[in-house]
């Protein structure tokens, strides 16, 4: 690839039916929001980031999925539990499990129905 075509970053535009509620959820999950407007917010945790976009499209949100690779999935799960995200936001959360694709992850849906798989590599030949 030519040097002037070097990539720097890629971000997804994650749909949010209620932007303010979604921003609260993601803050509680552990993301920071350094910038926000009436219809868009920039979120990040460590070196990972995405854009939260005000979009009231239930079908789109329900089919949207994000994958976040973390150093310690069990610590993230404990945080989800300690924050009471399921109860406070009425979202779906499934505890961590080791998957055949060599990742230990858990499933968490945000208030708009976007599914997140948050996981840790288990190691081995394809980690």
User: Can you tell me the distance from the alpha carbon of 27 to that of 127, in angstroms, rounded to the nearest whole number?
Assistant: 29
The tally of domains found in the chain comes to 1
Q: Is the pLDDT of residue 127 over 70?
A: no
Helix (H, G, I), strand (E, B) or coil at 60: helix
Question: What CATH number is attached to the domain comprising 81?
Answer: 3.10.180.10
Cβ-contact 106, 92 below 8 angstroms: no
Q: Is there a domain that residue 4 lies in? A: no
- As given in the structure block, the two tokens for residue 105 are 């992850």
Cβ-contact 43, 50 below 8 angstroms: yes
Domain that holds residue 96: 12-54+61-121
Please report which confidence band the pLDDT of residue 3 belongs to, taking 50, 70 and 90 as the band edges: confident
Q: Is there a domain that residue 7 lies in? A: no
Instruction: Please give the backbone phi and psi of residue 21, each rounded to the nearest 5 degrees, phi first.
Output: -65, -45
Mean pLDDT of 89-94: 97
pLDDT tens figures, 29-83:
999 999 999 999 999 999 999 999 999 888 898 899 999 999 999 999 999 999 9
Q: Is there a domain that residue 92 lies in? A: yes
Please name the residue that has the structure tokens 């509620």.
21
């Amino acid at each position: 690839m030519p040097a002037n075509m070097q990539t720097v970053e890629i971000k997804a535009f994650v749909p949010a039916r209620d932007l303010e509620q979604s921003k609260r959820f993601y803050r509680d999950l552990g993301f920071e929001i350094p910038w926000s407007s009436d219809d868009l917010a920039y979120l990040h945790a460590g070196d990972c980031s995405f854009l939260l976009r005000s979009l009231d499209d239930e079908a789109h949100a329900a089919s949207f999925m994000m994958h976040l690779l973390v150093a310690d999935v069990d610590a993230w799960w404990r945080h989800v539990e300690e924050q009471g995200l399921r109860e406070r936001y009425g979202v779906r959360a499934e505890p961590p499990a080791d998957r055949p694709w060599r990742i230990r992850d858990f499933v968490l849906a945000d208030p708009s129905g976007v599914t997140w798989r948050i996981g840790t590599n288990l190691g081995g030949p394809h980690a």
